[in-house]
Amino acid sequence: MSDVSPCSLPRTKPRSLSAGYWPLLTVSLGFVMAMLDVTVVNVALGSIERGLRAGLPTLVWVVDGYTLSFAALLLVGGALANRHGARHVYMGGLALFVAASACCGAAPDGAALVAARLLQGVGAALFMPSSLSLLGQAYPGEHERLRVFALWSAIVSVAVAAGPLVGGVVVGTLGWRAVFWLNAPIGVLGLVLARRHLPRSSPDAAARPEVAPHLLAVIMLAALAFVLIEGGSWGWASPRIVGALALSLGAALAFGYCERRARAPIVPRALLGRPGFLEVNAVGFLINFGAFGQLFLVSLYFQKALHADAWHTGLDLLPLMAMFMLGNLLSPQLSARWGTRRAMAVGLGVSALLSVLLAAAGDRLALPWLTALFAAANLGVAAAVPAMTATVMQLTGRAHANIAAAALNVNRQIGALIGVAAVGAVLHATPAWSQSLPRALALIAAAYVSGTVLAARAGREARATGP
């Protein structure tokens, strides 16, 4: 589910890199570790449920706690990297991620695990935005940098695809706690390599992140996540849920007010006025809503409805995740033939159609057919993602490329947060899989259908006003 496809970058003749391969391997190590945590935890949900006697809301928080703090603080991490230096913030974030992983592995109950997952997200929000910046500093030549980014994208894609299988093996042989404990030696190695091989960067004291908008964004997302995850347990009309919803709406209104009055808003006003920009960001939200909601749903379905162990769950999820890598590879060819906007709409349209079929079939399909349809739907999504990213870059131009990419990434992470929470709410409301599976699939299908409509609209608006 990475934004960058190796095949979308120009090919260069094989030759040694000026800084060697150590900076690339160092940055990839940290990034891959964080990406693996997303997919591996889904495979471990059944074991976590049994080991900690955790209910469904706790399992949703285990997945969404990481995404919540990561999404809310991602732009803060980028601003801090500018102010204090990318390497300094990268190493601090990685150290926090490793410490939080150790806390996850030692968690005595569900609440402690959720708290540690929130800390993991904070660490990831600090070190992941610095990754590409550090790669660019280590390899300053244009052609060399393109080659490095292609290699980095390939490594990340393989890690995402292999995540469920790695999780199945680790959980099946060592238990769910080992998923987090293994981050400790890998993270320590990453810190040692970062100190030796990553370039120092000059801090920019003038780059001061705006505190109020980011704090309001955290409150808004946390309160909304609480409503979706705990609504079924507390009651949708209970004072706590109604109060949390009011808090989320109030924070959202205050965030909009602060952004309108800010001299330097988080997203420049010039971007918000670009035809198609808001639509493509909404597409990014809906893609991650569907993709991560589906991963959470399918992981639980395999483990709870089909009673698969972690090993077989990882094995069953492997073809689904492999489609993300294959779709990333196919996307440049589709974009070259149809254009990025049409490739984005067609890829999402295929996923929407297949998701509608899945929702209509529910649990009546045999496992091989179910897996095949899920995999084909993921292929369409994966083909749409690089085209979507390229479309944003075309719409915004070089002047706003970095902030546009960051805004898209944040919206995608928020989509993942809300998607998992919404699927969890459906599962909580209808415990019987014969009812909850088609309803959750219908929710995912609705996200993809809406994304297809918005992608087509973004293409029309952009063509009407020029690239």
CB atoms within 10 A of CB 156: 23
What are the residue ranges spanned by the domains of the chain?
18-209, 211-265, 268-467
Distance, CA of 408 to CA of 462 (rounded, Å): 17
**For 2, left (φ over 0), alpha (ψ -120 to 50), or beta?**
beta
Instruction: Give pLDDT, residue 204.
Output: 57
Q: State residue 102's pLDDT score.
A: 94
pLDDT at residue 437 in the model: 93
Query: Rounded CA gap, 406 and 401, in Å?
Result: 9
CA distances from 78 to 132, 171, 175, 408 (A): 11, 33, 35, 14
Q: Is there a contact between 47 and 169 (Cβ–Cβ < 8 Å)?
A: no
Position 240 scores a pLDDT of 93
Domain 268-467 -> CATH class: mainly alpha
d(CA 168, CA 297) in angstroms, rounded, equals 17
Using CA atoms, how far apart are residues 405 and 389, in angstroms rounded to an integer?
A: 7
pLDDT of residue 18: 60
Q: What are the 10-residue block averages of pLDDT along the chain, 467 residues in total?
A: 45 54 84 81 91 92 92 84 82 94 94 95 88 76 68 76 85 91 89 86 62 86 92 90 96 89 77 83 94 93 90 89 85 86 92 95 87 93 88 74 78 92 92 91 96 85 52
Architecture of domain 18-209 in this structure: Up-down Bundle (1.20)
Q: Which two tokens stand for residue 352?
A: 């929407």
Return the pLDDT at 130. Answer: 80
CA 247 to chain centre: 25
Q: How far apart are CA 426 and CA 438, in angstroms?
A: 10
| Residue the block writes with tokens 């790695």 | 166
- Structure confidence at residue 7 (pLDDT): 42
